[in-house]
Amino acid sequence: MTTADLAPLVGAAAIGDPQEGVPLALYLVVSGGLFLLGLLGVLTRRNPLLLFLAVELLLNSANLALVGFSRYWNVTDGHVFALVVMVVAAAEVVIGLGLVVAVFRQRLALDVDQMSSMKG
Amino acid sequence: MSSLNVVASTPLLITAGAATAAFTAGLLPGRTVRRHGPALVGIAGIVAAMVMSVVLWDDRLEAFGGGLRADRFSALMNLIFLSAALLTILLAWREPAAVDRRGEYVGLILVSATGMMLVAGAGDLITIFLGIEVLSVSLYVLCALEVWREKSLEGGLKYLITGAVGAAVLLYGLTLLFGATGSTQLSEIGAQLRGTSFTDEPLVIAAMVLIAAGLAFKASAAPFHMWTPDVYEGAPTTVTAFMATATKAAAFAAFLRIFSGVMPDLQADWSIAIGALAVASIAVGNIAALVQTNMKRMLAYSSVAQAGYLLIGVAVGSIQGAEATLYYLLAYGAMTMAAFAIVIIREREVEDGDMLGALEGYGRARPVLGAVMTVAMLSLAGFPPLSGFIGKFLLFGSALEADMAWLAVAGAVGSMISLGYYLRVVTVMWAPGPEGGPRKVLAVPGPVGLATVGAGLGVIVISLMASPLLDACRGAAQSLLAP
Amino acid sequence: MELSDYLPILIYFAGGLAVAGAIFSLSKLVKSKPNPSKILPYESGILPSTPVRQRFSIDFYLTAMLFIVFDIELAFLYPIAVTLRDDGLVGLVVLLVFVFTLIEALAYIWKKGALEWR
């Protein structure tokens, strides 16, 4: 399927001029897919490491949309935002891995459903 | 670069600088310096930042090319965050978790406060996201600071996972808002959205839903509150107190900045979504709090319910609503801090000091502490002369004025249910204790006592000085809604 | 032109769902069906003589995590490098504050002994 085949689906304008490169709608569809995939992962996975992986998907789907929008509007704001998101994501994951290592050292089960010393 | 206006960002820069200094002071040679240096540096930085916030009260400045604003709204919020940080540092004076990690403890509290100030002063979507993340990431570490305690680790990891998901959802919402308007500057987005309705801008609907959900995670509003009781119970109690007061205030600063400040013309549409969150929080929080026997969990559910009351003022969208929300944030901060202070003191005296039973007869043995807790509970329940009542009265009144009586009704019913658990604490405290008063009573260290009594007096002062404080809140609300 | 003119939000989410669903169900459909000889580690047909899963020292993780943070922070230096000429002295001061904060963090880590190999 070429991008031209998508025209009846998303409207001709979204496909745009082939010379212009990848159209916005495709960025958004992939980004939305990644986001929902990340949400599915967050809801179905129980291992903290896999949960972090899913969170990375969520954040990076936003990054893809940011860059796509930024190109569409021809501004640099989105690129700056994406850079900030990347750094924040790294910081978050490092804290997360640090906690996982600490849990591992305490020899606790790495399963958030089994973490139930608190109830109520 | 010409608009790098450092003056507007001084409170923020001072706090961040004090955080760096506190980290460093925790590493210096010499036991006494390591023990007291960080806290002293932190307190000095907080006081300086508070002074600068007051100095900037009447200004409307922008720093970093419009990314950060200094107006009355940000000044008022800064004072809330900084007071919460100050009380937290004082309450943690002899905290076991903090004794050999004072540098980290004070430094992380200050970094978190810096993030909150970024949110409150945000003039840009990037600043909002960055602020939310800075405040959350430092709190994840603070929650798990007692690494040798299983509950603390567990709470930290749970908070990290739910917090990260919440932040990612919020980020996607901000991204769509940027996509719909082509700018990350709040003023520019506001100009773009003026006079539009949701039907014109389908992207904005999705953006609004995602942003509301993401912020509801941070404000622990139902149905995004499931992490709250576990994290509040697991975290060191001083950190819990900071989370319950300052983090909630930061989330509401973001709510007000984005919804009331940027999309006032779309209020008719988003007020229903926010109102639904409010009603859900009031119902879930109040009902679940009734059956709790652990004080920290009870206060966690109570904070969910309180988030519901606060959301009423956001949903209304008017200046009165924002004013009432800001006043109630002040009152809520003082009374929650006071309640947690008593739990913190009791926890150091007996094992399981965070259970309701540990407070049996405590008021008779410790009349001052008992009085502080009583004032806090009565104010949280909304008894007439106290600030909790004034705040709720204004919140429900603003809902009635905006023809959203259903919100006022939900709030009133919720408050009645809440009497059940708030008054239970009071009766337990003043009941005759187990033969000859409660087991084991230790001397309270000076700074801890100061912070406890300060928070208790704060509740009363906020009630007595309601009218000047309300003027200040109105000024802040106007700087937000009527630029 | 309004963005909404050509971006029906429903199609957007439907497309998103389709992509997510496709990837998700694809991995379910074509997942490998393991049998005892399939899950053996492949070592040129020779049976493995040592345990295949090796435990790494926790120090590797620590060092790796510290590396990630500093590595990503450095990403901010590239945009600054591009615009430094236009930003002049102010840009330089901002850059120095940023780098100083990173050095402070490094000093903190060093002093805490996280760089020692235990």
Q: Domain count of chain B?
A: 1
Give the model's confidence band at A54: pLDDT under 50 very low, under 70 low, under 90 confident, else very high: very high
Whole-number Å distance between alpha carbons of A110 and B13: 39
Check CB contact under 8 Å for A87 and C16.
no
Query: Which numeric CATH code is attached to A3-105?
Result: 1.10.287.3510
User: Which pairs with CB-CB distance under 8 Å and at least 24 residues apart come from B12-17?
Assistant: B12/B49, B12/B68, B12/B114, B12/B117, B12/B118, B12/B121, B14/B45, B14/B48, B14/B49, B14/B52, B15/B45, B15/B46, B15/B49, B15/B82, B15/B110, B15/B113, B15/B114, B15/B117, B16/B110, B16/B111, B16/B114, B17/B45
Whole-number Å distance between alpha carbons of B402 and B323: 14
Give the model's confidence band at C1: pLDDT under 50 very low, under 70 low, under 90 confident, else very high: very low
Give the model's confidence band at B169: pLDDT under 50 very low, under 70 low, under 90 confident, else very high: very high
Amino acid symbol at A82: A
What pLDDT does B431 receive?
82
Please give the domain boundaries of chain C with CATH numbers for all domains: 3-112 (1.20.58)
A53 CB within 8 Å of a chain B CB: no
Closest residue of chain C to A8, computed from CA coordinates: C6
Check CB contact under 8 Å for C104 and B20.
yes
Partner-chain residue, chosen from A30, A83, A97, that has the shortest CB–CB distance to C65:
A97
Dihedral sign of CA atoms C90, C95, C96, C97 in order: positive
- pLDDT reading at B363 higher than 90: no
C8 CB within 8 Å of a chain A CB: yes
Picking from B348, B356, B393, the residue whose alpha carbon sits closest to that of residue B377 is B356
Q: Which is higher by pLDDT, B181 or C44?
A: B181
Does the pTM of the predicted model rise above 0.90?
Answer: no
What pLDDT does B77 receive?
93
Indicate the helix (H) or strand (E) that contains B248.
Answer: helix B248-255
- pLDDT reading at C68 higher than 80: yes
pLDDT tens readout for residues A19-28: 566 788 888 8
The predicted model gives B318-327 an average pLDDT of 90
Cross-strand partners of B122: B68
Instruction: Please provide the average confidence, as pLDDT, over all residues in chain C.
Output: 77
Picking from C112, C103, C2, C10, the residue whose alpha carbon sits closest to that of residue C62 is C112
pLDDT tens readout for residues A84-119: 999 999 999 889 888 888 887 776 555 555 665 565
Q: Which residues of A touch B223 (CB under 8 A)?
A: none
- pLDDT reading at B436 higher than 50: yes
Whole-number Å distance between alpha carbons of A58 and B167: 10
Q: Which residues of B touch A42 (CB under 8 A)?
A: 165
Partner-chain residue, chosen from C3, C8, C108, that has the shortest CB–CB distance to B23:
C108
Give the pair of three-digit tokens for residue A13. 């304008």
Check CB contact under 8 Å for B27 and C7.
no
B183 CB within 8 Å of a chain C CB: no
Q: Which is higher by pLDDT, C32 or B203?
A: B203
The ipTM estimated for the assembled molecules is: 0.86
Reading phi first (left if > 0) and then psi (alpha if -120 to 50, else beta), residue B444 is in: beta
> Which range among A110-119, B149-158, B297-306, C102-111 shows the weakest confidence by mean pLDDT?
A110-119
Which DSSP string do the residues of C36-98 spell out, in sequence order? TTTSS--STTSPP-S-SSPPPPHHHHHHHHHHHHHHHHGGGHHHHHHHHHHHHHHHHHHHHHH
Whole-number Å distance between alpha carbons of C75 and C57: 29
Highest mean pLDDT among A4-13, A41-50, A110-119, B336-345: B336-345
Q: Which is higher by pLDDT, B364 or B483?
A: B364
pLDDT tens readout for residues A69-78: 998 888 888 8
Q: Which domain holds residue B311?
A: 6-481
Instruction: Please provide the average confidence, as pLDDT, over all residues in chain A.
Output: 78
Count of CB pairs separated by less than 8 Å, B with C? 36
Q: Which is higher by pLDDT, A95 or B30?
A: A95
C9, C13, C26, best to mutate vs chain A, most A CBs in 10 Å:
C13
What pLDDT does B330 receive?
93
Q: Which is higher by pLDDT, B120 or C75?
A: B120
Residue B1 lies in a domain: no
Locus of tokens 């950060």:
B68
Q: Which is higher by pLDDT, B438 or A44?
A: A44
User: Which pairs with CB-CB distance under 8 Å and at least 24 residues apart come from B430-437?
Assistant: B430/B361, B430/B363, B430/B364, B430/B370, B430/B374, B431/B360, B431/B361, B432/B361, B432/B364, B433/B360, B433/B361, B433/B362, B433/B364, B433/B365, B434/B360, B434/B361, B437/B361, B437/B364, B437/B365
Partner-chain residue, chosen from A32, A40, A104, that has the shortest CB–CB distance to C24:
A40
Give residues 67 to 96 of C whose Cβ lies within 8 Å of A. Answer: 68-69, 71-73, 75-76, 79
Q: Which residues of A touch B161 (CB under 8 A)?
A: 48, 51-52, 55, 96, 112
Instruction: Please provide the average confidence, as pLDDT, over all residues in chain B.
Output: 87
Indicate the helix (H) or strand (E) that contains B433.
Answer: none
Indicate the helix (H) or strand (E) that contains B279.
Answer: helix B267-290
Q: Which residues of C touch A42 (CB under 8 A)?
A: none
Q: Which residues, at least 6 apart from B81, have a Cβ–Cβ distance to it below 8 Å?
A: B113, B116, B117, B120, B246, B249, B250
Q: How far is CA A13 from CA A74, A75, A82, B473, in A?
A: 16, 20, 26, 48
- pLDDT reading at B119 higher than 80: yes
Locus of tokens 């930042």:
B49
| Percentage of chain C lying above the pLDDT 70 cut | 72
- pLDDT reading at B182 higher than 50: yes
Q: Which residues of C touch B138 (CB under 8 A)?
A: none
- pLDDT reading at B398 higher than 80: yes
The predicted model gives B253-268 an average pLDDT of 87
Give the model's confidence band at B2: pLDDT under 50 very low, under 70 low, under 90 confident, else very high: very low
- Tell me the domain boundaries of chain A: 3-105
- pLDDT reading at B476 higher than 80: yes
Query: ∠ CA(B188), CA(B166), CA(B161), 5° rounding?
Result: 145
What pLDDT does A1 receive?
42
What pLDDT does C30 receive?
78
Which DSSP string do the residues of A67-111 spell out, in sequence order? HHHHHHHT-SHHHHHHHHHHHHHHHHHHHHHHHHHHHHHTT--S-
A94, A101, A107, A110, best to mutate vs chain C, most C CBs in 10 Å:
A94
Exposed, middle or buried: residue A73 (CB in 10 Å: 0-12, 13-18, 19+)?
A: middle
Check CB contact under 8 Å for C20 and A40.
yes
Give residues 408 to 467 of B whose Cβ lies within 8 Å of A. Answer: none
The predicted model gives B73-95 an average pLDDT of 90
Give the model's confidence band at B120: pLDDT under 50 very low, under 70 low, under 90 confident, else very high: very high
Residue B126 lies in a domain: yes
Residue B43 lies in a domain: yes
